[in-house]
Structure 1
């Protein structure tokens, strides 16, 4: 089995702009995004992005609040 190449860009979520609406989570086919819930707020969060994210940018496109920017991963 061939290892999958890492995504060229990964989602970076601005917590100040995120409202927790969940549109990005619904758009994420590999399911690397989730909603993090705390006492009085919900925010989107990235889970395992480096391993599973395809870099498709659908999450950023679906966000009506422009809270997601696709960025190049940091060099290891």
Structure 2
């Protein structure tokens, strides 16, 4: 279920790039370079044609809304 939550992605937080989502990164050929999770999951992406990495933090909040998109908060940003 968490994997589905990650792919669905939620609205991006203000600190990150609102145009970057986990689903978009995967569709654009980015590969998972690493991940860590406890409460909030962090996913690090790399792309063979880009000199930088992208990090996404994904939070599944069980106290928010009834729909999956209301419970998942995603924040992705480039690490240059």
Same fold by TM-score, threshold 0.5 exceeded? no
Higher relative contact order (CA 8 A, sep 6+): 1
Q: Taking structure 2 as the reference length, what is the TM-score of the superposition?
A: 0.24
Point out the structure with the larger strand share.
Answer: 2
Q: Taking structure 1 as the reference length, what is the TM-score of the superposition?
A: 0.25
